[in-house]
Amino acid sequence: MSVKRYEVRYLVSAKNDLYELLTFLAEKESPDRARHVLSRIRTLCEDLASMPLQGHVPPELEEMGSRKFLELHYKPYRIIYQVTETVVYVHLVCDGRRDMQSLLGRRLLSSDSPDL
């Protein structure tokens, strides 16, 4: 029996998040640390191709009545994604110590957010 594989796509906003994270860590810590964190986050995202439902609904979104997004964690970083019939869309990668309620509401629940 073969396992269904999903395509993993990063929205432009998630690509921007990764670039900003890489730049921040390279400046504040070290380029090696930045590459390591980026590699780990990408590995988690690529694992979604075979296990897309491994995450959980972010509690902030559940409180707002939205259950269409899931999240994974790597240290303080949160990866927010959405699973469709054949594609996993990575929407957001951020430091979980931020004001997540506002960020998630603005980025994922706004009327101009891509509805997949």
CA-CA distance, 96 to 29, in Å (whole number)?
18
pLDDT digits (tens, 9 = 90+) for 49-95: 999 999 999 998 888 888 899 999 998 999 999 999 999 999 999 98
Amino acid 50: pLDDT: 96
Residues 6+ apart with CB under 8 A from 33: 25, 26
Q: Cβ–Cβ contacts within 10 Å for residue 1, how many?
A: 2
Give the residue, 45 or 60, on which the prediction is more confident. Answer: 45
Does 4 fall in a domain?
no
Domain count, the chain: 1
24 lies in a domain? Answer: yes
Residues 79-84: contacts with CB under 8 Å, at least 24 apart: 79/41, 79/44, 79/45, 79/55, 80/104, 80/108, 81/45, 81/48, 81/52, 81/55, 82/116, 83/6, 83/48, 83/52, 83/53, 84/116
68's tokens: 């269409």
State the CATH number of the domain containing residue 41: 3.30.2310.20
Task: Inform me whether the pLDDT recorded for 112 exceeds 50.
Answer: no
Confidence band (pLDDT; 50, 70, 90) for 10? very high
On average, the pLDDT of the chain sits at 90
- Domain residue limits at 93: 9-108
